[in-house]
Amino acid sequence: MSAGLKVLAPGLHTTVQDLGRPGYQAIGVPVSGALDGVSLRLANALVGNPPGTPALEILMSGPTFEVAADTVRVALAGAGTSLAIGPEKARVVAGQSATLPGGEVIEVVVGRQSACCYLAVEGGITVPLVLGSASTYVRAAIGGLDGRALRRSDFVPLATARASHRAELRLSSPIAATGDQPIRVVLGPQQEYFIEEAVAAFLGAEFRISQSADRMGMRLDGPFLQHRHGWDIVSDAIMTGAIQVPGSGQPILLLADHQTTGGYPKIATVISADLPVVGRRRPGDALRFAPVTVETAEQLCRTEERRLAELVAALEPVRAGHALDLGSLYDGNLISGVVSGVE
């Protein structure tokens, strides 16, 4: 029997994702891939995988699995999330790997302020590649497990049936939430299609993510953004992070599964360094935007890549949880009822 994870409960929207399938937008195929590429890469680093190894993206509500392998090493990445292991619900916090035996039950616990996290398994998930990627694009039913989100009783196939023998790893510091961080944007490419007051409102007001939000994009509730001479343009290319404004005057922030072309003017584009931050937000969360130049956006991208590399380089081994640290016990004077008989 092949190794895998049996799905006991699928969660709200759990899909196989990697870093996407770039290079096919010209023929109408979105890049897709992880909403939060930073957390995906951290989860993979914790279990010893290459950065783009397919893992499970978990949105809003976590799944529950039974291990169908000799042993598996798993790690979760995402602020405010944890793993509950076995009937005792023993917790393993996000940012730390754990090795589990066959038959063990693991539940991904997603906090009320969390929107997105990633469960990586040592060796990765083995599903057929479509155009070079395992990423699930539900609208076209390609990638992942039959091109869809997980369902109860699914079997997620794994590359290895036994975890390697090594120490567990953890991040040197907890994964920080980024709920209050302004989202930085480069204005345009159709900024001139909006009156000056609309641009000022976009940059000065607070927006709320509506309930109409998924991997394709987020509709934002906020001030009406008035166009200068209508809202129809000749359809042009769309990139992840583009913020288009239809006739309703309410912006739509486009995410990993966005359409490849569109005919609404785009008031701004989220910089690549902040796309993972957007991916961690959930309906009802507030968004504020701050403008930066293209040059600053490029520098912030390089800075974020260096920060991620430093986090991975600083991964540290986890001391075995069940081993007694006798030195600490003695130093803390925690042994009572025993005397040496020597004054």
Question: For residue 260, which of 24, 25, 16, 58 has the smallest C-alpha distance?
Answer: 25
Q: What is the pLDDT of residue 325?
A: 32
Q: Is the pLDDT of residue 133 over 90?
A: yes
Q: Do residue 188 and residue 284 come from a single domain?
A: yes
Q: How confident is the model at residue 82 (pLDDT cuts 50, 70, 90)?
A: very high
Tell whether 137 is covered by a domain: yes
pLDDT above 90 as % of the chain: 84
pLDDT at residue 81, as a whole number: 92
For residue 267, pLDDT beyond 90? yes
Distance CA 64, CA 343 (A): 57
Nearest to 18 by CA among 96, 92, 121: 121
Both 155 and 265 in a single domain?
no
Give the integer Cα–Cα distance in Å for 126 and 286. 37
Mean pLDDT of the region 178-195: 91
Task: Give me 331's structure tokens.
Answer: 């130093």
Co-location of 198 and 53 in the same domain: no
Question: Across residues 322-339, what is the average pLDDT?
Answer: 34
Average pLDDT over residues 200-223: 96
Q: Looking at the predicted structure, is the pLDDT value of residue 257 above 80? A: yes
pLDDT above 70 (res 25): yes
Full residue range of the structural domain in which residue 241 is found: 183-292
Residue 206 to residues 60, 128, 180, 222, Cα–Cα distance (Å):
23, 42, 11, 7
Percentage, residues of the chain above pLDDT 70: 92
Band of the pLDDT at 189, cuts 50, 70, 90? very high
Q: What's the pLDDT at 171?
A: 94
What span, in angstroms and rounded, lies between the C-alpha atoms of 257 and 260?
9
CA 13 to chain centre: 12
Give 1's pLDDT tier (boundaries 50, 70, 90).
low
Residue 343 has a pLDDT of 36
Helix ranges, the chain (H): 37-46, 196-204, 275-279, 294-313, 326-331
pLDDT tens string 39-48: 999 999 999 9
Question: Looking at the domain assignment, is residue 175 inside a domain?
Answer: no
Kindly report, residue by residue over 94-121, the tens digit of the pLDDT.
Answer: 999 999 999 999 999 998 778 899 999 9
Same domain, 153 and 200: no
Which one, of 206, 213, 16, 265, lies nearest residue 124 by Cα?
16
Window from 6-20, 127-141, 174-188, 291-305 with minimum mean pLDDT: 174-188
Residues 242 and 97 in one domain: no
Q: Which of 274, 292, 310 is where one domain is finished?
A: 292
pLDDT at position 320: 67
Q: Are 207 and 253 in contact (CB under 8 A)?
A: no
284/146 same-domain check:
no
139-185, pLDDT tens digit by residue? 999 999 999 999 999 999 999 999 999 999 999 887 777 668 899 99
Residue-level pLDDT at 331: 33
Q: Mean pLDDT over residues 305-320, rounded? A: 92
Unique residue bearing structure tokens 């016990």: 329
Q: Is 307 inside a domain boundary?
A: no
C-beta separation of 268 from 254 below 8 A: no
Residue ending a domain, among 170, 192, 215, is: 170
Residue 228: inside a domain, yes or no? yes
Is the domain of 25 the same as that of 137?
yes
**Same-domain status, 149 and 263:** no
CA nearest to 118, candidates 97, 103, 132: 97
- SS3 at position 272: helix
Rounded Cα distance between 91 and 84, Å, is 5
| Amino acid at position 42, single letter | L
CATH of the domain at 189: 2.40.100.10
The predicted pLDDT at position 330 comes to: 31
Among 121, 138, 170, residue at a domain's last position = 170
Q: What is the distance between the alpha carbons of residues 227 and 233, in angstroms, rounded to a whole number?
A: 12
* CA dihedral (100, 105, 106, 109) positive or negative: negative
List 9's β-bridge partners, or say none.
64
User: Number of folded domains in the chain?
Assistant: 2
**Distance between alpha carbon 250 and the CA centroid of its chain, in Å?**
26
With respect to residue 63, please indicate whether it lies within any of the assigned structural domains.
Answer: yes
28 and 146 part of one domain: yes
Together in a domain, 137 and 58: yes
Is pTM, for the whole model, over 0.75?
Answer: yes
Asked if the model's pLDDT at residue 125 lies above 50, the reply is yes
**pLDDT confidence of residue 333:** 37
Residues 143 and 13 in one domain: yes
Residues 6+ apart with CB under 8 A from 7: 63, 64, 65, 150, 151, 152, 153, 154, 155, 156
The confidence score (pLDDT) of residue 319 equals 79
Residue at 177 is within a domain: no
Residue 48: inside a domain, yes or no? yes
Tell me if 333 is assigned to some domain. Answer: no
40 and 141 share a domain? yes
